[in-house]
Structure 1
């Protein structure tokens, strides 16, 4: 390690030997994760293969799940004594701070009740509205206009594109609890390279929509069934410039929404059936990942999982792969 400026030394070309990772170095996060993982595994925790940030431990009839985001940790379990022992172990190893019951985590507000858990980002939404001057704006009923389509040629280039990029980045994080704006934000995120005033106006439309319901979020019922079901859809050749289709899906665990996505497909589909079938494949991959995740949480999905699609041709291809020889390229 090169000596810091202002440090005087009699020996020329002297360097310092680095014996430990310092906070802020590129290697620090990796070293911290490796040390925390080793400490948890020594304590009997198993690292999930589906999500490396999830650790689980089953002892007799008790079960503990631990979720890590850098140095922020969520703990859930069935035995309070086991949880207290875990916190004591972490405090002995790393000197942690116990923040009590889950109320606020990474910008997400959690409200617990006997009926279930409600997640929202109300404070985060109000901060975005205040930063962009939309606290007193007139609310909009929808996040985007159905008739107007964005292009990379309409409008005037913005003099300060970083304003648009910062806004889209914050809206992307807001989709963690607001699936209703996922499609609108997906459309806006395609133009962060060279944004124009028309795209900024569309982003302001999303802010006006959020103004009408800043506290809207997700509710997870405590009486929900452990049953997965997925819904898949596709908009064929929606992009007027690339003619690529858009995949959209949502997956429910009982009556609770647990996964959703809106994303442009990587290739051009020659028919609506092909676009729908690609969306089915993406939804199936997500369902398979959720099955692995539930297995790590000691939850077995014994019943078949229903996957819904509104395209008969795509359903026929999914039921009979051999008969449709023209779908080999998919």
Structure 2
């Protein structure tokens, strides 16, 4: 192992550190590996591009730099399944869901129709019975990762993740309902297909004063590129809005920030938008203010 920065002056030529623990398995291993990979990429002067020749040249260079092999088209990575067909590319986490059901002993549970009870307002009640903190945090963490391919549970997961340190039985019940919903929708995911255009569209919405505990609002958005769903987010606002128009306007602002980032991204990879990005909202007053 090479000497750490700041200690190298104490080492003679050819001296190294003795590695007491391997890199893999440490909390910092993803960051360290990405840093090493980034260094190799920059050394060869590469940037992200959709070019087969450049990709093949990169593979040859990486084979010389690292001990690796080409596994072909992506099929499974970190719990995410990728399927290709004439209809497009479908990503889901079915095996991840089945493993979660087996782990929680809910493989034979009755499926729920929705991720949350309609109009359910979760908050911290006075003198309510607490739930198992370790189990709750573990389940919510798994659901957060699962939301990468399941926009239909993103809002519900965002709600239950707010009670990681003040959890009660009602909160655990909401988590288990999400899992019951997943039982009936384990094969759901996101389909990416060619629709003949690359238009960028953002849809925004907000729930005014939806938090019964502190009356803060939740805003969310999802974005479409070429008719495909690519990003989605639901987050509680940092301040209390005094009207539905204000909270909807803040939601539009979040959507606008996402639109600017997406425009920069698609431009960098060679697909600059030819039309203005459309941001959709259902509040007339917020639209007029915008």
1:86-138 CA-partner distances (Å, limit 9, x unpaired): 22211110111322211001211000112210000000011111111111111
> Could you tell me which residue of structure 1 aligns to residue 6 of structure 2?
none
Provide the rounded CA distance (Å) in 2 between the counterparts of 1:130 and 1:26: 26
Assess if the C-alpha contact under 8 Å between 1:224 and 1:256 holds in 2: no
Distance 1:151 1:104, change over 3 A: same
2:236 to 256, 264, 267: 264
1:284-329 CA-partner distances (Å, limit 9, x unpaired): 00111111111121111020111111111111110xxxxxxxxxxx
Provide the rounded CA distance (Å) in 2 between the counterparts of 1:209 and 1:199: 16
> Could you tell me which residue of structure 2 aligns to residue 18 of structure 1?
17
1:160-215 CA-partner distances (Å, limit 9, x unpaired): 31101100010011111110011111110011102111111111111111111101
Distance 1:220 1:140, change over 3 A: same
> Could you tell me which residue of structure 1 aligns to residue 42 of structure 2?
41
TM-score (normalised: structure 2): 0.88
Provide the rounded CA distance (Å) in 1 between the counterparts of 2:213 and 2:225: 37
Larger Rg: 1
Pairing 1:229–2:172 present: no
Structure 2: 5+ residue stretches without partners? 2-14
Distance 1:145 1:173, change over 3 A: same
> Could you tell me which residue of structure 2 aligns to residue 220 of structure 1?
192
Structure having the larger proportion of residues in strand: 1
> Could you tell me which residue of structure 2 aligns to residue 296 of structure 1?
268
Task: Count the aligned residue pairs.
Answer: 274
Assess if the C-alpha contact under 8 Å between 1:224 and 1:253 holds in 2: no
Provide the rounded CA distance (Å) in 2 between the counterparts of 1:27 and 1:122: 28
What is the deviation of 1:33? 3.5
Assess if the C-alpha contact under 8 Å between 2:122 and 2:212 holds in 1: no
Which structure carries more relative contact order (alpha carbon 8 Å, separation 6+)? 2
What is the deviation of 1:240? 1.1
1:213-233 CA-partner distances (Å, limit 9, x unpaired): 101000001234200111111
> Could you tell me which residue of structure 2 aligns to residue 310 of structure 1?
282
Provide the rounded CA distance (Å) in 2 between the counterparts of 1:28 and 1:147: 42
Assess if the C-alpha contact under 8 Å between 1:232 and 1:308 holds in 2: yes
TM-score (normalised: structure 1): 0.78
Q: Which moved more, 1:142-151 or 1:120-129?
A: 142-151
What is the deviation of 1:38? 2.8
> Could you tell me which residue of structure 1 aligns to residue 159 of structure 2?
187
> Could you tell me which residue of structure 1 aligns to residue 216 of structure 2?
244
What is the deviation of 1:151? 1.4
Assess if the C-alpha contact under 8 Å between 2:80 and 2:93 holds in 1: yes
Distance 1:169 1:34, change over 3 A: closer
Assess if the C-alpha contact under 8 Å between 2:194 and 2:226 holds in 1: no
